[in-house]
Structure 1
């Protein structure tokens, strides 16, 4: 590593005088700022034991290894770190030789995952610059490849820690902590940006977004998650380059959906995505409906926001959530629109109409986000339960109550009642709320008081056939 500059970690509430600004020492990729053990809050006590095992083994085997990115950044912000990513000069194959619990993943970026039960420590080899790769590497399509838009399709050129820092996306992620000397290495003034709560891209923003359009989502997510602000240069190209999101595979967008909407900041991320013209790449049918000024548009927007608020509250209260619930909420009104269109043109029974609409809307959505089948099944159950919850006569209420996804369907009904506020839905939601709180005998009495839906004919009991008296041959 090049000669480093020692610097004291800036205090969060310290006032900056004009004289201090003149004498500020800035980092560079050749000369990073280095914060010694007594100048920063990063401690091995705050790291997971699994991450420490990986760092120690790599170091003891003669390799350089650092905790990098979010783990360091979150500690500097006073947050509890959740991700412990490691950067090293060991190649993926060398990492695999050191760890029996290692699996290599990724074609675009070759990574090593060290598995410790449910915890996975991600280890990446230092990235190098494409212009420093040997001619042999440049000619190898398995090493590096770009699309016509400048997007990196494969990127397995390795380099030094300085090059790796320059290849990082944001300054606040170009922070490295070493367990060998207990120092934090800051290559891009990330510590100052952490202190100033600024999201800043490393390098030319347009080039970096073209290399990987998902960086636009990451900029928004970090800003909402960390209560930070994107600098002007970082946010300026996003709307203009939003169309690049069409190049992102549906499977990757599912992972990004989980990060954006299942982390306790769904409402804030939803608003930001819409303002930067990015939401439509997640839910094109929903975005189309939201852009039409009508009563249905207002209803859909209110319903989506309420579902997201509900999800955020549950996550922040450490309650269980499923992405299927949000998917069901997003697509509920587009589904109803499909159902109404099919009703006009056919005479199919309600159940067949529902499945016909389902077969239209889900494949359309799958082209944007590859929703795993296990979540598709739950989405379908939540929607089917809306009809089942309205049919309470006879034994139907108990059968519905015993459904494995009853709670999700009931919660969905509560949201519908709150937004649509029709007398029928409000009464139905209250009935099911009471049904869960009373005794079994009281439930039977509640069911007896339910009026059958209008137009429903009561089935007469079957008459038993009299046994045949005709003698058998």
Structure 2
């Protein structure tokens, strides 16, 4: 136990709602601790993204304490306490027992399919994945409780699994992704005993439900270290198990722009997160899957299909194949298609088309996508610059720019045909 004077965690840096949950559970006669990433990040001087609570109260008891609570999950039974848009996740201490008496724990081929066997805080600590996530903040005396020597690893910048690494990866292959995510996000090194099995066990990711992998991909790339994480995923041969078509395209690139495009897109995502700007998952996934879509569309065009239908067909194909690994929901895949399908429309700069295009709801995202393509060398920079200037102009200036483009293509001003004379009433 580390007493309050010997660590840097202050209640002032903890979510007010998380503090409410901790105190209300404690006042109701239960143990209550802040646990996991929130404690880890506070100790590192970082601002936690969310705050999780561990308690000896059963999920049903937590629901009795909080009217604003909903129980979720079958694999892991959890309580979510709602405070407007903020959710405080409350988990009951889990045991090392096998749950054979009441079927509360189910393991199949080494993978944990259900785990709702409850126990003590000491057992709960041993069930967590990494030592740096097995740290507990006690709201009772403001101490930090460390059952796994996590503070030592935290101070040394080391990611170490609790227990046998191979067994822990088999129990939940997503732990391999979490190792890469924490290494990229925190700048930590993966302990050799945990790093060595990665390349030989990466195929276990193929057995993880595609819907769950979607949530993990969001965590991987929206944590502020997308570019570093991408490089580590490729280093450990994990990226190809998440995005096989993209990895295939990148591994056979004959120009620099595919990898440059992805790198710039991920770096742009990191910059926006650092600046507190919004990041849309649709743009992120559109970047990650663009190269296989572009190549498929080019093949369809070579067979005689027009550019826009070729892109539409290629997008459908790639998304259908991608769903076998990472299932992208429609609320994200539809905007992705808009971003892709607007790219050839940027080539049409004459007449009324540019002014119609900038009214499209996804114009800004598609334009940003065009900028990335130009910066990577895949699209003409002059094209991107034209659209940059076009947006800045007023309607009259926009009309002049579009008119110049139209005349430039024909080489002369287009004349209107004279109207036919109407027949006389006489």
TM-score tier (shorter) = over 0.9
Tell me by how many angstroms 1:332 deviates. Answer: 1.7
SS at match of 1:295: coil
Measure, in 2, the Cα distance between the counterparts of 1:188 and 1:355.
Answer: 52
SS of corresponding position for 2:101: helix
Cα deviation, 1:304-360, whole Å, max 9, x if unaligned, reads 111111111111111121111121122222112212222344x44433333222221
Unaligned ranges ≥5, structure 1:
1-33
Sort the Cα spacing of 1:226 and 1:350 in 2 relative to 1 into closer, same or farther, 3 A: closer
Query: Secondary structure of the equivalent of 2:145?
Result: strand
Select which of 246, 250, 262 maps to 1:304: 262
Deviation, 1:70, is 1.2
Map of 2:108 onto structure 1: 147
CA distance in 2, matches of 1:328, 1:461: 44
**What's the Cα RMSD here?**
2.2
**TM-score normalised to structure 1 length:** 0.85
Secondary structure, in 3 states, of the residue corresponding to 1:127?
Answer: coil
For 2:316, the equivalent position in structure 1 comes to 359
Deviation at 1:460, TM superposition (A): 8.0
Counterpart position of 1:331: 289
How far apart are the structure 2 equivalents of 1:302 and 1:276? 20
Find 2:371's aligned residue among 407, 414, 430: 414
Query: Contact 1:382–1:409 at 8 Å: present in 2 too?
Result: yes
In structure 1, C-alpha distance between the alignment counterparts of 2:272 and 2:101, rounded to whole Å: 52
Shift of 1:247: 1.0
Q: Is 1:269 aligned with 2:229?
A: yes
- The structural deviation recorded for 1:291 is 2.1
* Displacement of 1:466: 7.7
Kindly report which structure 2 residues correspond to 1:274-423, keeping only aligned pairs within 5 A, or say none.
274-292=234-252, 294-296=253-255, 298-345=256-303, 347-420=304-377
CA gap of 1:421–1:175, structure 2 versus 1, over 3 A, is closer
Given candidates 62, 76, 86, the residue that maps to 1:95 is 62
Query: Unpaired runs of 5+ in structure 2?
Result: none
Shift in alpha-carbon separation, 1:460–1:208, aligned structure 2, 3 A: farther
Aligned ranges for residues 39-438 of structure 1 at < 5 Å? 39-131=6-98, 133=99, 135-137=100-102, 140=103, 143-148=104-109, 150-292=110-252, 294-296=253-255, 298-345=256-303, 347-420=304-377, 425-438=380-393
Change (3 A) 1:38 1:335: same
Distance 2:417 2:94 in 1: 75
Displacement of 1:431: 0.7
Number of aligned pairs? 422
Is 2:32–2:53's contact at 8 Å kept on the other side of the alignment? yes
452 and 252 in structure 1: CA distance in 2 versus 1, 3 angstrom threshold: farther
Q: CA 1:395/1:62 → structure 2, altered by over 3 Å: closer, same or farther?
A: same
Secondary structure of residue in 2 paired with 1:392: coil
Following the alignment from structure 1 to structure 2, what is the Cα–Cα distance between the partners of residues 316 and 213?
30
Contact 1:209 1:216 in 2 (8 A): yes
1:444 aligns with 2:399: yes
Where do 4+ consecutive residues of structure 1 move more than 3 Å?
Answer: 347-351, 451-455, 458-467
Alignment of 1:433-472 (within 5 A): 433-451=388-406
Secondary structure, counterpart of 2:349 in structure 1: coil
Instruction: Label 1:96 to 1:279 Cα distance change in 2 as closer, same or farther (>3 A).
Output: same
Cα distance in 2, alignment partners of residues 367 and 323 from structure 1: 19
* Secondary structure at 2:342 match in 1: helix
Q: Could you tell me how far apart the structure 1 residues matched to 2:118 and 2:150 are?
A: 23
Q: Secondary structure at the match of 1:67?
A: strand
Distance 1:418 1:82, change over 3 A: closer
